[in-house]
Amino acid sequence: MEDINYKQRVICLHDALGIPASYATTTPLSFYEEPDVLVKTELDFFGREQRLTPNAEKAWVKMRDHAALANINLVLISAFRGIDYQAQLIRRKLDQGQVLEDILCVNAAPGYSEHHTGRALDIASQDCPKLEEEFERTIAFSWLRENAADFGFSMSFPRGNASGIIYEPWHWCYSE
């Protein structure tokens, strides 16, 4: 991974999106590099290819299969996202007229999303709107609360977290 080059790309993307230079020094979020190795996992809910680090992929499959044994269907929504894709997500919202400050409470700026690590997953349940707080009322979420830690996953943005990111009951990250 070319460190300096990556940081420069992040700075360029921030610039293009109008994210102030102060973001980097004031955000409580960490700066994440993209991993060197990613492997394919299952297609997501939308039929898109998704990738994770090899260890995160193994842990996800194990967790998903254990959940299935308990009749819980964990639906994959999003896994690895590169900095360019993260910038596109933000650009799309800006183009729709959303305010940057509001967008950054939902989408971390490029370089600061845990999805860059290839260890973060957005998980949904069939019976619930995707990426909505309501997910916390599903049995899938209850199962994750009880069992995810056994597979190395934890919720990154619990209610009232200090990161500046909204409560995200659907976002879980694997720790190596």
Displacement of CA 43 from its chain's centroid (Å): 16
Min separation Cβ 60 and Zn ion, Å: 13
Q: Which stretch binds Zn ion (CB under 5 A): 31-39, 43-51, 65-73, 118-126?
A: 118-126
Query: Nearest 10 degrees: CA dihedral of 131, 134, 138, 140?
Result: 20
Q: Looking at beta carbons only, is 57 or 122 nearer to Zn ion? A: 122
Nearer to Zn ion, 20 or 145 (CB): 145
* CB closest to Zn ion, residue no: 171
Least distance in angstroms from the C-beta of 122 to Zn ion = 4
Contacts for 26-30: CB closer than 8 Å, 24+ residues apart: 27/108, 27/109, 27/112, 27/164, 28/162, 28/163, 28/164, 29/108, 29/109, 29/112, 29/163, 29/164, 29/165, 30/112
Closer CB to Zn ion, residue 11 or residue 106? 106
**Residue 115 CB, nearest distance to Zn ion (Å)?**
6
User: Which listed residue (17, 86, 171, 174) binds Zn ion by CB under 5 A?
Assistant: 171
Neighbouring-strand partners of residue 11: none
Contact assessment for residue 152 and residue 175, using Cβ atoms and an 8 Å cutoff: yes
**Least Å from the CB of residue 120 to Zn ion:** 6
- Tell which one of 64, 90, 122, 136 touches Zn ion (CB under 5 A): 122
How many residues belong to the site for Zn ion (CB under 5 A)? Answer: 2
Q: Are 108 and 81 in contact (CB under 8 A)?
A: no
Q: Residue 91 has what DSSP assignment?
A: H
Where does this chain touch Zn ion (CB under 5 A) — which range of 7-15, 38-46, 117-125, 136-144?
117-125
- Count the alpha carbons within 13 Å of 4 in the hemisphere toward its beta carbon: 0
CA–centroid distance for 57 within its chain:
14
Cβ distance to Zn ion smaller for residue 4 or 159: 159
Residue 4 beta carbon to Zn ion: minimum distance, rounded to whole angstroms? 27
Residues near Zn ion, by CB under 5 A: 122, 171
